Amino acid sequence: MSRQRLTTLFKRVVRQSARACGWEVRRFNPDLALDAYLPILLEELGVNCVLDVGGHRGEYATLIRTHKYKGYIISFEPVEENFNQLQQRKDGDSMWHVYRYALGNNNETRDINVSRGTNFSSFLSASDYGTRIFRPHIPVERVEVVQVRRLDDVFDEVTAAIDQPRAFLKIDTQGWDLEVLRGAKGCLDQIVGLQSELSLQGIYEGMPSWTEALSEFQRANFVVSALFPVWRDSNFQLTEIDCVMIRKQ
């Protein structure tokens, strides 16, 4: 048997054995997973500052740190319980800074609905679809009063330690992403890429459709770089996608 046939047979056996154990083995392809794609993109864009909007408890920041991103991370999280855990998680990382306020289109005070599963907390109310699909995590347990700031009003302050910021804007705000974009118009020239979670099904009342959101990002001079599925419901209907975009040159 030739070496090529032996190699092919070996690969087949490994893949079949891995699948039997619930794993998938294949040639590395960064387009297959967000956590594989991001490190390559951040390096290619020369990103030295990741703006982690909707920082929750530090999951995203920890992800990019795990994948060798060494630049600044600036996390924004308004919910008190989440912020406290976020602050603990970043301890010891001198290049990770956290702020306890939300970002939006206006400097104001707003009520935020804190969900049972706090990653669903939102300024908006859950739709019937969202309530049905994400029960028991999406019901509101309490309401907190939080501060909202425009990104272009705080950008210079939060990036003061960074020489010539080249920022990547990650937004995961449960239906509020376009409000964040609208409040960043004065600093968009310093944002070289962004990531937004787009909902193909309306999880919250009054949230923009994914096509409306995509159109507004494109009007702000960003173009799609990659798309990754986030969630499918029990009917295999795609509910959310992570959309990674870069500033159009």
Predicted confidence (pLDDT) per residue in 66-111, tens digit? 999 999 999 999 999 999 999 999 999 999 999 999 999 999 999 9
Question: Predicted confidence band at 21 (pLDDT cuts at 50, 70, 90)?
Answer: confident
Give the range among 3-17, 126-140, 146-160, 219-233 with minimum mean pLDDT: 3-17
Phi-psi region of 81 (alpha: psi -120 to 50; beta: other; left: phi over 0): alpha
Predicted confidence (pLDDT) per residue in 179-193, tens digit? 999 999 999 999 999
Nearest to 133 by CA among 200, 208, 210, 203: 203
Task: Report the DSSP pairing between strands 72-76 and 49-53.
Answer: parallel
In this prediction, residues 133-160 reach a mean pLDDT of 96
Q: Is the pLDDT of residue 23 over 80?
A: no
Nearest to 248 by CA among 222, 220, 215: 222
Q: Is the pLDDT of residue 225 over 70?
A: yes
Return the pLDDT at 126.
Answer: 96
Beta bridge partners of 227: 243
Which DSSP letter does residue 208 get?
P
At 58 the three-state DSSP class reads coil
In this prediction, residues 201-208 reach a mean pLDDT of 95
In this prediction, residues 197-218 reach a mean pLDDT of 96
- Euclidean distance between CA atoms 105 and 181, whole angstroms: 8
Give the range among 31-35, 49-53, 84-88, 156-160 with minimum mean pLDDT: 31-35
- Euclidean distance between CA atoms 134 and 120, whole angstroms: 9
Question: Predicted confidence band at 141 (pLDDT cuts at 50, 70, 90)?
Answer: very high
How many other C-beta atoms are found inside a 10 Å radius of the C-beta of residue 248?
9
Question: Predicted confidence band at 19 (pLDDT cuts at 50, 70, 90)?
Answer: low
Give the C-alpha distances (Å, rounded to integers) separating 176 from 4, 28, 126, 171, 248.
Answer: 53, 34, 13, 9, 23
Q: Is the pLDDT of residue 11 over 60?
A: no
Output the six-digit token pair for 133: 């699909």
Q: Is the pLDDT of residue 25 over 90?
A: no
* CATH number for the segment(s) 33-247: 3.40.50.150
Return the pLDDT at 10.
Answer: 56
